Amino acid sequence: MTDLRTATPPLTEGTVQTGAQTSAPVPHALQDHDVSAQGVTKSFGKTEIFSDVSFRLVRGEAVALVGANGTGKSTLLRCILGLIPIDRGAVELLGQDVTHAKGAQLRGLRANTGLVAQKHNLVPRLSVLTNVIHGLLGQHSGPRYWSQSFAPEEARVAAMEALEKVGLAHLAARRADRLSGGQSQRVAIARALVSKPRLLIADEPCASLDPSAGEEIMAMFFDLVRSEGVTVVFTSHHIEHALTFGDRVLGLADGHLKLDATAASLAASDLRGLYD
């Protein structure tokens, strides 16, 4: 397939004024990046999933990661978060090297990152409120954050505020296994937002929802992240979602990053090529 990568800068790329001199585009190296991947290669056993993947995400950007099933989108997100080791290359998250980070440093980085996973992994027998309070566990370890009954007042207040943002405050006391798919997805978003992360990773945030619920949840999710200035990486199988909600689109195919372009410069037909 053709390589769709373009040299188009991200939408948020600005210019610098250097005294009385003319303005010049800010080179990537000087910008504030929340994620920087350089030559990332990942295999499971002898199977190489992708190789030499490089990209950078500017603060406040929303980036859609697209590609066919099994191309490695979820794997790449896990590499970014340092949840699984990479074979070659380097990843910087919030300005720090994830590749070699361990223990407290890795926990600190993850505490500033929210995750909405492909399977939302709510604890079924616990209440909605407790599940959202669990979103604070990256910042506060210990049993007080395991349940709403022991949680400090400020944690309960923060969790109720996050539930209000996703329109589910009235279901705070309901058990998570008694929610609809769309409601569960909203709770997973509230859990990711409660710690006020700087970076949000959302792996198919509206998977398993019908198109109209999916549309509504994406719109709500992006209203929230835009209003809070959060950097977002999301995967989606909906080409329209990638183009509508992403500032930039990254495309994985055949083990390589084949596309890195601004959403504004792309048409749906450009993305369909990734699925051939």
Ligand X SMILES: Nc1ncnc2c1ncn2[C@@H]1O[C@H](COP(=O)(O)OP(=O)(O)OP(=O)(O)O)[C@@H](O)[C@H]1O
Residue span binding ligand X (CB under 6 A) among the ranges 63-71, 89-97, 211-219, 258-266:
63-71
Q: Phi-psi bin for 249: left (phi > 0), alpha (psi -120 to 50), beta?
A: beta
205 binds ligand X (CB under 6 A): no
Question: Could you tell me the two tokens for 235?
Answer: 């995967």
3-state secondary structure of 13: coil
**Least distance to ligand X, CB of residue 241, Å:** 14
44 binds, among ligand X, Mg ion, none (CB under 5 to 8 A by kind): ligand X
The listed partner (ligand X, Mg ion, none) that binds 2, CB under 5 to 8 Å by sort, is: none
Per CB under 6 A, which of residues 69..108 are in contact with ligand X? 69-75
Q: Is 244 in the site for Mg ion (CB under 5 A)?
A: no
Name which of 69 and 227 has its Cβ closer to ligand X.
69
Q: Which is nearer to Mg ion, 86 or 151 (CB)?
A: 86
Which residues 6+ apart lie within 8 Å of 199 measured at CB? 34, 35, 93, 94, 112, 113, 114, 230, 231, 232, 233
Strand order, beta sheet including 47-58: 47-58, 33-44, 88-93, 96-97
**Which parts of 15-44 interact with ligand X (CB under 6 A)?**
44
Cβ-Cβ contacts under 8 Å for 243 (sequence gap 6 or more): 64, 249, 263, 266, 268, 271
- In angstroms, rounded to a whole number, what is the distance separating the alpha carbons of residues 54 and 89? 9
74 scored as a contact of Mg ion (CB under 5 A)? yes
Cβ neighbours of residue 30 under 8 Å, at least 6 residues apart? 16
Q: How far apart are CA 141 and CA 139, in angstroms?
A: 7
Taking the complex as a whole, how short is the minimal distance between the CB of residue 111 and ligand X, in angstroms? 24
Handedness of CA 209, 212, 218, 224 (dihedral sign): negative
| Size, binding site for ligand X by CB under 6 A | 11
Stretch that binds Mg ion, among 70-78, 101-109, 192-200, 225-233 (CB under 5 A): 70-78
Residue 69's binding partner among Mg ion, ligand X, none (Cβ under 5 to 8 angstroms by kind) is ligand X
As measured in angstroms, the least distance from the Cβ of 94 to ligand X is 23
Least CB distance from residue 46 to ligand X, whole Å? 11
Q: 49 is in the binding site of which of Mg ion, ligand X, none (Cβ under 5 to 8 A by kind)?
A: ligand X
| Contact positions vs ligand X (CB under 6 A) | 44, 49, 67, 69-75, 118
| Contact positions vs Mg ion (CB under 5 A) | 73-74
